[in-house]
Structure 1
Amino acid sequence: MIENRKFIIIGVFCLVGLIYAARLFYLQILDDSYSLESSSNSIKRVIEIPYRGQIYDRNEKLMVYNTPVYDLYVTPKRVKIPDTLAFCRMMDVTRQEFDSIMDLAKTYSPVKPSVFLRQLSKEDYARIQDALVDYRGFEPVMSSMRTYPAHTMANALGYVSEISKKKLENQETPYYRQGDYVGHNGLEEQYEVELRGRRGIKYVMQNVRGVAKGSFKGGEFDTAAVAGKNLYTGIDVEVQQYADSLMQNKVGSILAIDPSTGEILVSVSAPTYDPNQLSSRFFSKNYRKLIKNPYKPLINRPIMASYRPGSTFKLIQALIAQQQGSLFTNTVYGHGGSPMRCHCHGGNNLRGAVRFSCNPYFYQVFRKYIYHNGNPNTFKASAVGLQEWHDHAMKFGIGQKLGVDLPSELRGNLPSVETYNRLYKSELSWKFSNIYSLSIGEGELLISPLKLANLAATLANRGWYIPPHYVKGIGKIGEGIPAAFKEKHYTDIDPKYFVPVIEGMRMAVMAGTVKRDADIPGIELCGKTGTSQNAKFGHAHDHSIFIGFAPMNNPKIAIAVFVENAGWGGVAAASAAALVAERYLKRKNEAQGLKLQEWLMKQNYMPPLSMLPKPRTPKKPDSTAKQPVVKDTIRKPRPMMTHNDGASRSTVGGN
C-alpha cells in the first residue's frame, strides 16, 4: 500500500514537470508574442491611422474628403543630428522653431514619439525622404488632411485638429495619443466615433539604423486599419452655396428644413470663412486671425445665436389661444385699450391680424389668454395663465434644446412664473402690465434661428415636427440614423386651428408686411415677418426676421432667416427666404427672383467696426471650451412704439 502511494506521488511530480517543460517549449520555441515584445531594437510597432470618413450632401455630392499627407514624429532620446542648421534648412524651419518644438517634445516624453512637423505634402516628403535616414529619432507617419471642395458650411462641419491636452486626459476609454487628430465642433465632433474608424497595428523589421526591412512574420500579427464610415447629410450643397452668396456683407443666418423629415437643407452662418483655412499646417495662425475678427465668424449662428423672436411669435399666440378657446377666427380687436401702437388701421380678424402683424390685436389675444379663467385684477390669475401659456409654448420646442446633432446648441429662454418671481424678487410684485411685451415676442423671450426654423416646419406640418438634424445616413443613405431623428413631436393644437393662421401667412406675403417682389410666382410662400430689438446700435439697426414655408399645401421647405441690423423683417429677411425657397423648389431663379436677387446682393448691413466691441485675446483652440454666444439680455419691459411690420420697439433694449 505504501509502495503504491510512493509511485503515485512520483507520478504526480513527473506529470507536473512535463507540463512545465511543455509550457516552456511553447513559450520559447512556438509562441512569438514574447519574442515580439523583446525585439524592440529590431521590430517596430507601427500604428496605422485609418482614413477618416468622407461627408456628402443629400445628392451624394462630396463636401469633405481626405488628402494624403505626412506627419513627422520625433523621439527626443533617440535624436542624433550631425548638423542642426542643415537639418533646419531641409525642414524649412528656423533654429528658434526647432528648439521650441524639441523642448515641447522633451516635456511630453523623452522616450515617446510626438509631432515635429504636421501635414507635409507628398512633394515635401519626397524631398526629405532620403535625407531622413541620416537623422536618427525622426520617423514619418502617413496621415491625411481634410479638404473642403464646396468651400461652404464651415461652422456646421467643424474642423479636425490635434487633440487638446484636456481632452486627452479626460478620455473615458484610452484611445487617442499625443498628437492625434480629432474632430472639433460641428459634425466632425458630433460624429467623431463614426468618422474616425478603427486603428490598425503593423510590425515592421528594421536594421540598427532604423531602416525598414519588411513585415515581421509576413504580417501574421498585423491588424488592418478600418476606414471611418462616410456621413451623408440632408444638406443641398447647391442651394447652400447660393444662400451663402445672398448673405455676403451681412451678419445673420439662414436655416432651411424639410418639414416632413426634419432634415436640414441649408445652414448658413454669416459671416463665414473657407473651412480649408483650418485644415492646413497653418491652423494656429488662421485660427488666431478668425477669433480676432470682430464679426465673430467662428460662431455658428443658427444654433448659438440668441434673439428676441419679435412678431414671428404671434403665430404661437394665435394657435394656443384658439386651442384654449379664448380666440376665434372671426374675433375682431381694434387699437383701443392697448398700450402698443401699430401701423395698420385696426379692426382686423385673426387672418388680417397675422397678415398685417397688428400689435394691439395680439396684445388683446395675450391678455384674454392670461385671464381667460380668472379675475384680471389678481396676481393669481396672472400666474395661472402665464404657466398655462408657458406649458403650451414648450410644446413648440421653445425654451428647450431640440437635440440637433451638433454640439453647443442653446436652450434659449421661455419665461415662466419662476422667472418673474426671481426677477421681481417676490410672488406678489408683478402682474400682467409687467409681462405684456411677451405678446409680440419681446421682453424676456430668447430664441435661436434653429427654433424658429423648427416653428416654421411645425406650421407646415399643421402641428408636429421631427427634431431638426443634419444626418441623412451613416455608412449609407438611410442607415444608422438615431431613433430620435425619426420621432414626431406633437403640439397638442388641433390641426383646424392652423388653417386661418396659415391663410394669414399667405396673405402677408401676397399683400401684407412682405416686400412685394418676394411673392415669387409658383412658390406659394407662406410667411411671417418679425423685427428683433437691437438698441445697442439704435433702432434703425434692429434685426430683420422672417419665417415661412412653401408651397402652401404639401410643403417641401420650411425656412427661418435672420439678418442683423437690417431693419424690417419684410424686406431683407423675407427676400432671402423667398429666393432660397425658389432655388430649392425650381432649381433656378426666374425673372422676378433674379431681380430680387440683384437688389439683395447689393445690400450691405455690416455694422461699422467702430460700433463693435473690441475682440478678446485669443486662446488656444479647444473643443471642450465654451464657444462665444450672441444673445439678448433679460430686462424689464418698457413702453412700446410703432413698427412697420407690427413688431414692437422699446425705448431701451439690448442685443
Structure 2
Amino acid sequence: MKDQRPAVIILVIFLISAVLLIKLFLIQVVDDSFLKKAERNAIQRVVDHPYRGLIYDRNGKLLVYNNPIFDLMVVPKEFKIGDTTRFCQLFKIEKEKLIEAYNAAKTYSRVKPSPLIKQISTTDFARIQDFLVDYPGLFIMTRSVRSYPNATAPHALGYIGEISAGQLEKDSAKYYSQGDYVGLSGLERFYESELRGNKGVKYKMVNVRGIDKGPFKDGEYDTASVAGKNLTSTIDMDLQLYGEMLMAGKKGSVVAIEPKTGEILAMISAPFYDPNSLTGAEFSKNYRKLNNDPEKPLFNRPIMAMYPPGSIFKIVQSLIGLQKGILTPNTTFACNKSLVACHNHPSPVNLFGAIRNSCNPYYHQAFRMIINQELSTNTFKDTELGLNAWREEVLKFGLGSPLGLDMSGERGGDVPSSRLYDRVYGEGRWKYSTIYSLSIGQGELQVTPIQMANLAAIFANKGYYYAPHLIKAVDGDPTKIPAKYQVRHEVGVDAHHFDLIQDAMAEALYGTANRAIIQDLVIAGKTGTAQNPHGEDHSVFVAFAPKDNPKIAIAVYVENAGWGGRAAASTASLMIEKYIKGQITRPALEEYVLAGNFIY
C-alpha cells in the first residue's frame, strides 16, 4: 500500500493537468468570448458624425450651412488639474459646472472620453488650444452647428438642438445617442432623415490608461460617415428678406405662394428672431429668453395663428353661391345697413359690385339664401341642414383642417358646424340670425395665414390648388419631394365662375385698396378688416398677380393695424412688385409701410 502512493500522486497530477489543458484549449481555441471581452477593453469605438445637409433657396443661394465647433473631451483617469481657478478662467467655465461635468464623465467611465465643455466656438478654440498640453487627459473633438449667412426665415427653416430623453425613447431605429443633435422645428425637423446623413464608426486601440495607440486592425472595421442630403427650398431669399424688412416692428404674417405649384416663396412670422441665436453654446440661454419674450417671437404665426378671415371670405361665399346656382352675376341687393354695418358706396349692387365695394349687407342677404333653402318646414332645422351643407363646400377650399405643409405644428382653423351651435345654444334653439356673422368672415370662423394664401392661389388658378410646401428638390432632384405635393386638389367650382371673381377683384383695388395699384401690372385683390374685441382691428389682404398669368399669390395679416386697404394691402403690393419687377418704384409707399402708422 505504501509503495502505491507515488503512483496515485502522479495520477492525480496527470488528471488535474489534463483538465486544465482541456479548459485552456476551450478558452483559447473553441470559446472566443474572452477574446472578445479583451478586445472590447482595448478598443475604443468613436462615432464619426456626418455633416448635415445644406439648405438653399429656390435660386441656389445658401440659406443654411455647417459651422465647425469643438467639444472639449476628458478622460477622467488621466485628467490632472492644479489651479482650478486658473483653469476656469482659461476655459470660461464656472467651477460648479466643471465639477458637475467631470463627475458625470467619471460616472460614465474613468478610461473612456466624455464631453467636459460642449460647443466651443472657433474663436475660443484658437484661444485655448495652446493650453491643452498643460492638462493631461483633455483633447478636442470637432463637430458642427448650423449657421445662417443672411439670418432669414427662422420659422420656415427651423433649428436643431440636442436630442431629448423622450425623443431617444421614440427612436425605434436606435440611430441616435444621448448628445446627438436633431431638427426641432421647421424644415430641419420635417426633413431630419434626409438632412442628418449616416454616422460612421472608427475603432482605435487604446492601452489600459485609455491612451490612443492607433487604428484597430489598420481600420479594417471602420466605416465612413455619409453627409446628409442637400435641400433646395422653395423660398426666394431676396423676397423673404424684403418682407422681413417691411414687417419689422409689427405683428402678423406674410405668406407668398407660386399658385401653379404650391411652392412657398416667402413665409414671414413677425416678430421674428435671428436664427443664429439658437446655435452653439448659448442655445439654452437664448431659447429661454425668446420663449419668455411676451412678444412671442418663437410663435409661428403663418401656420399656428388662427384669425377670422374678414371680408376676404366673401369671395368664397360668392363662388359657393355661383356654383350652387343660388347666386348669379345679376343677383342684386340693396346695401341695407339696418342688417349689418357697411361703409358708403353706391346701392343697390350686383355680385360684381358687392365684391368691388365689399358690401356687408349684400353678403348678409346672399348667405341667408345659401343657408335657408326651405329644405325643412322647421326654421331651425332648415338652418341646421343649410349650414352643414354649406360647411362641406367650404372645406373643399382647404379650410377647417391642416393643408399638410412640410412643417410640424400646423393648425387647421375652424369652420363651424351645427354641432357647435347645438352645444352652445341647445339643439333646435338657434337659426340664421345666430350665425349671420359668418357671411362676412367673422364669428366662429377661423383660418390660418397659410390658408389665406392658399385661397389666393385658388382664386388665381380658377378652382384648384397644390398643397403649400417648402421643399423644391432633394439633392438637386425635384422628383424626390413628397408625392403629396404634386397632387392637384379641385375645390368643386367650375372655372368659368372665376372670370367674374377675378375681374371684380382687380377692380376692387380701386374701391378699397388703391394703395396697392401698380402701374403696368394688374393685381387682383381683396381687403379684409377682421374685428378684434381686444383692441384695434386686424388688417387683411389677399391678392395674386399678374391677373391674367398669375406668378404670385399672397396673404398679408397685420395685427392691430386697422383697415385692410392700408397696412396689409400696401405690404402685399410692395412684395408683389419686388417679386415680379425686381425693384420698388414707389419709395413713398415703402416709407409708409416701414413707418407703421396705419391707424392715424
- The separation in 1 between residues aligned to 2:338 and 2:138, in whole angstroms, is 77
Q: Note closer, same or farther for the CA distance 1:274–1:602 as it changes in structure 2 (3 Å cut).
A: same
Indicate yes or no: 2:511 matched with 1:512: yes
**Displacement of 1:493:** 0.5
* Counterpart check, 1:378 vs 2:403: no
1:601 partner SS: helix
- The question of whether the paired residues in 2 share the 8 Å contact of 1:250 and 1:605 is answered with no
1:636 alignment counterpart: none
Q: Does 1:563 align with 2:562?
A: no
Give runs of aligned pairs for residues 160-175 of structure 1, distance below 5 A: 160-175=160-175
Q: Secondary structure at the match of 2:496?
A: helix
The structure 1 residue matched to 2:596, chosen from 584, 603, 606, is: 603
Q: 1:430 to 1:104 in 2, by over 3 A?
A: farther
Greater Cα offset, 410-419 or 279-288: 279-288
Aligned positions of 1:467-478 closer than 5 A? 467-478=467-478
- Residue of structure 2 aligned with 1:576, choices 571, 576, 582: 571
Does structure 1 conserve the Cα–Cα contact (< 8 Å) formed by 2:48 and 2:201? yes
Is residue 367 of structure 1 aligned with residue 365 of structure 2? no
Query: SS state of the match for residue 577, structure 2?
Result: helix
Task: Report the AA paired with residue 168 of structure 1.
Answer: L
Check the 8 A contact 1:155/1:269 in 2, yes or no.
Answer: yes
Q: Aligned residue for 2:9?
A: none
Distance (whole Å) between structure 1 residues aligned to residue 337 and residue 90 of structure 2: 81
Q: Decide which moves more: 199-208 or 293-302.
A: 199-208
The counterpart of 1:550, out of the listed 545, 548, 572, is 545
Does structure 2 conserve the Cα–Cα contact (< 8 Å) formed by 1:453 and 1:547? yes
Partner SS state of residue 495, structure 1: coil
Residue 480 (structure 1) shift: 1.4
Q: Cα offset for 1:103?
A: 5.2
Would you say the 8 A contact 2:44–2:205 is kept in 1? yes
Partner of 2:375: helix, strand, or coil?
A: coil
Match of 1:633 in 2: none
State the one-letter code of the partner of 2:516.
Answer: A
Q: How many angstroms apart in 2 are the aligned matches of 1:106 and 1:570?
A: 65
Which piece of structure 1 moves more, 70-79 or 105-114? Answer: 105-114
Structure 1 range deviating more: 112-121 or 146-155: 112-121
Q: Is 1:585 paired with 2:580? A: yes
Q: How far apart, CA to CA, are the structure 1 residues paired with 2:273 and 2:117? A: 25
SS in 1 for 2:363: helix
In 1, distance between residues paired with 2:531 and 2:103? 52
Alignment of 1:185-200 (within 5 A): 185-200=185-200
Q: For 2:337 and 2:291, locate their aligned partners in 1 and report how far apart those are by CA, in whole Å.
A: 49
Post-superposition shift, 1:38?
Answer: 2.6
- Tell me: CA distance 1:391–1:125, structure 2 relative to 1, closer, same or farther (3 Å): same
Aligned residue type for 1:243:
G
Where 1:281 maps in the other structure, the secondary structure is helix
Structure-1 residue corresponding to 2:181: 181
Distance 2:110 2:372 in 1: 73
Runs of 4+ residues deviating >6 angstroms: 21-24, 106-112
**Deviation at residue 524 of structure 1 after TM alignment:** 1.0
Distance (whole Å) between structure 2 residues aligned to residue 585 and residue 402 of structure 1: 26
Alignment match, 1:93: 93
Q: Does the CA-based 8 Å contact 1:399-1:447 persist in structure 2?
A: yes
Q: 1:196 to 1:465 in 2, by over 3 A?
A: same
Aligned to 1:498, the other structure's residue is in SS state: helix
Match of residue 214 from structure 1: 214
Identify the residue that residue 312 of structure 2 maps to in structure 1.
Answer: 312
Q: 1:375 Cα deviation (Å)? A: 5.4
Q: Post-superposition shift, 1:501?
A: 1.3
2:500 equivalent in structure 1: 500
Describe the superposition over 1:226-250 as per-residue Cα deviations: whole angstroms up to 9, x where unpaired.
0000111010001110111111121
Question: Structure 1's 122 and 208: CA in aligned 2 closer, same or farther, altered over 3 A?
Answer: farther
Structure 1 residue matching 2:421: 3-state secondary structure = helix
Q: TM-score under structure 1 normalisation?
A: 0.83
Instruction: Tell me whether 176-185 or 191-200 shows the greater mean CA deviation.
Output: 176-185
CA contact (8 A) 1:66 1:145 kept: yes
Going from structure 1 to structure 2, the CA distance change for 1:315 and 1:110 (only over 3 Å counts) comes to farther
Query: Separation in 2 of the partners of 1:148 and 1:395?
Result: 38
Which digits, 9 at most, give the CA deviation of each residue in 1:338-358, with x for residues without a partner? 520211233111111001100
Partner residue, 2:525? 527
More helix by share: 2
Equivalent-residue separation in structure 2 for 1:175 and 1:446 (angstroms):
40
Residue identity over aligned pairs, in percent, reads 49
Greater CA drift, 448-457 or 412-421: 412-421
Provide the rounded CA distance (Å) in 2 between the counterparts of 1:327 and 1:198: 59
For the 8 Å contact 1:55–1:230, the answer to whether it is kept is yes
More moved, 443-452 vs 201-210: 201-210
1:22 CA displacement: 12
**Change in CA separation of 1:39 and 1:91 when aligned onto 2, cut-off 3 Å:** farther
Kindly state the Cα deviation for residue 214 of structure 1 after the two structures are TM-superposed: 3.0
1:435-489 Cα shifts (integer Å, max 9, x gaps): 0000000010111000000000011100000000000011114131000000011
Cα 1:327–1:108 change in 2 (3 A) is farther
Distance 1:124 1:437, change over 3 A: same
| Secondary structure at 1:443 match in 2 | coil
TM norm structure 2: 0.91
The 8 Å contact of residues 57 and 233 in structure 1, kept in 2 or not, is answered as yes
1:60 and 2:60 correspond: yes
8 Å contact 1:114–1:179 — kept in the other structure? no
Quote the residue 2:234 is aligned against. 234
Contact 1:346/1:358 (8 A) holds in 2: no
Q: Which amino acid aligns with 1:398?
A: L
Deviations 1:334-391 (A, max 9, x none): 0338520211233111111001100000011100001124358611110111011000
In the TM superposition, what are the counterparts of 1:279-294 in structure 2 within 5 Å? 279-294=279-294
How far has the Cα of 1:320 moved from its partner?
0.4
Task: Quote the Cα distance in structure 2 between the aligned partners of 1:97 and 1:297.
Answer: 30
Rounded Cα–Cα distance in structure 1 between residues aligned with 2:34 and 2:275 = 47
Q: Deviations over 1:69-128 (max 9, x none)?
A: 112244657755444334323322121231343455567787875543222234533554
Contact 2:75 2:112 in 1 (8 A): yes
- Report the CA distance between 1:150 and its aligned residue: 1.4
Q: 1:441 & 1:481 partners in 2: Cα distance?
A: 35
The match for 1:610 is none
Opposite residue 390 of structure 2, the aligned amino acid is W
